[in-house]
Amino acid sequence: MIRKLLRHVFRRKDTPLPGKAAVIPLGQHGIRREDISAAAGRVCETLQKAGHKCYVVGGAVRDLIAGITPKDYDVATDATPEQVRALFRRARIIGRRFQIVHVMFGPETIEVSTFRAAHDADTLKDEHGRVLRDNVWGNIVDDAARRDFTVNALYYDPSSQTVIDYHHGVADLKQKTLRMIGDPPARFREDPVRMLRAIRLSAKLGLILDPAVRTPIRTMAELIENVPSARVFDEMLKLLFSGHAAECVKRLREEGLHHGLLPLLDVILDQPMGEKFVMLALASTDARVRAGKPTSPGFLFATLLWHEVLANWEARKTKGELAIPALYEAMDEVLDIQGEKLAITRRIAGDIKEIWSLQPRFDKLAGKSPYRLLEQPRFRAGYDFVLLRAASGEVPETLAEWWTEFQDADSERRAAMLVPESGPKKRRRTRSRKTSEAPTEPGTGTT
């Protein structure tokens, strides 16, 4: 630790940096200053005017070169978090493992990180090699070497409209190859989530995994179990809402990463009806993401875990448990088991359970039940869920068609659509009187 402290204190910002970078001009990479967000541009401009080096970095640069509109922007600088925070009115330092600064401009948040130093013998790691704490600053060469994949180690300078590339990331992007910076097994041990990230990026960008990246994944997949469940959940959200979820799931299975992440990836994909249901849900989500429509993590996770709930529910009913209580027990058990691997938030778990609990009510097409179901706040999500179940063959298409018509019909048509109730109607029992007088007629209030 003393060696690190001395290196940090005596490093001069004007010291020539080791390593050679390719400085790629506008004509070759195609990113114009006006292509980046105004907020990211202002952050870079402010830091550069204060005498710091500052670049738009990583995924935003990669996506712009690939012709994809970035979802967010990250910035890298030689300024420390405290120096960054001092330059912006709305900024806060966050993070434990590695401190970063969130700079806010209206609804947009720019994530600003200080150049990171290379790992050495003093870097705090767990017994598997995963980095636990990492707040030592470096220079741009150190920072580029610390990035995971070459396509993520790209630095865009808005002032000169050039891209700085230390690891041939632009060439790899154009050659459709996902290549790791450094030794892949060592980098996966540092952060096993990189294996999931490799799948997501390869699916999103249509890249082929470099053999050096692909080979160790099958033997190292179990390291993901050592990652905090909250981090795995965040990465799974990115994967499932990337707009390429169906392809991601396919590649997860191909690379042997599906075991243990979600029950659907362990079991459901081996069942024809279950696989069809899941792939329909993923394709629907992909279509909504690409169209810019809102998506619901609760709805998607409800589809991914539904067949696990079904199996549990059927097993309980076979043992003689009442149907509805058995469903609620099954829901709780599946979510509890899943919570050990994915830190599904309480709000999302609540959405999931509401969608599941509505499903038996869609089978009731008589009396007042359909009207009451229409009044439920989550009716639309439950209805969309029924549509997926019908499309996969789990329930009859006629059920989905009935609800599609019923919800849009007028009152007269709705009344005509109701299915006659089976069996004799239950009558309210009245108390007999042991008198010679005639019984009171209900509702008259007279004798």
CB neighbour class for 109 (10 Å; exposed up to 12, middle 13-18, buried from 19) = middle
Residue 278 has pLDDT above 90, yes or no: no
Would you call 74 a catalytic residue per the annotation?
yes
Residue 134 has pLDDT above 60, yes or no: no
pLDDT for res 174: 94
Residue 389 has pLDDT above 90, yes or no: yes
CB 113 within 8 A of CB 100: yes
Pairing type for strands 74-77 and 54-57 reads: antiparallel
pLDDT for res 352: 96
From the candidates 134, 148, 172, 210, give the one annotated as an active-site residue.
Answer: 148
Q: Which residues, 6+ apart, have CB-to-CB distance to 331 below 8 Å?
A: 309, 352, 353, 356, 357
pTM for the complete prediction?
0.77
Q: Estimate to the nearest angstrom the gap between the alpha carbon of 280 and the chain centroid.
A: 18
Looking at the chain, the whole-number percentage of residues with pLDDT higher than 90 is 67
**What's the DSSP call for residue 405?**
H
Q: Which residues, 6+ apart, have CB-to-CB distance to 115 below 8 Å?
A: 76, 77, 78, 137, 138, 139, 140, 142, 143
CA distance 47 to 45: 6
Q: Which residues, 6+ apart, have CB-to-CB distance to 300 below 8 Å?
A: 240, 241, 281, 282, 285
In terms of phi and psi (left: phi > 0; alpha: psi -120 to 50; beta: otherwise), the region of 403 is alpha
Provide the H-helix boundaries in 291-422: 297-318, 323-339, 346-358, 369-374, 379-391, 397-408, 411-417
What is the chain's alpha carbon radius of gyration, rounded to the nearest angstrom?
A: 29
In terms of phi and psi (left: phi > 0; alpha: psi -120 to 50; beta: otherwise), the region of 69 is beta
Using CA of residue 412, residue 414, residue 420, residue 426, what is the dihedral sign? negative
Would you call 122 a catalytic residue per the annotation?
no
Burial readout 60-80 (b: 16 or more C-beta within 10 A, e: otherwise) = bbbbbbeeeebeebbbbbbbb
Sketch out the chain's domains with CATH numbers: 1-181 (3.30.460.10), 230-419 (1.10.3090.10)
Looking at the chain, the whole-number percentage of residues with pLDDT higher than 70 is 82
The mean pLDDT of the chain is 86
CB 311 within 8 A of CB 331: no
pLDDT for res 435: 43
For residue 5, give the 3-state DSSP assignment. helix
Token pair recorded at residue 306: 């539904």
Would you call 148 a catalytic residue per the annotation?
yes
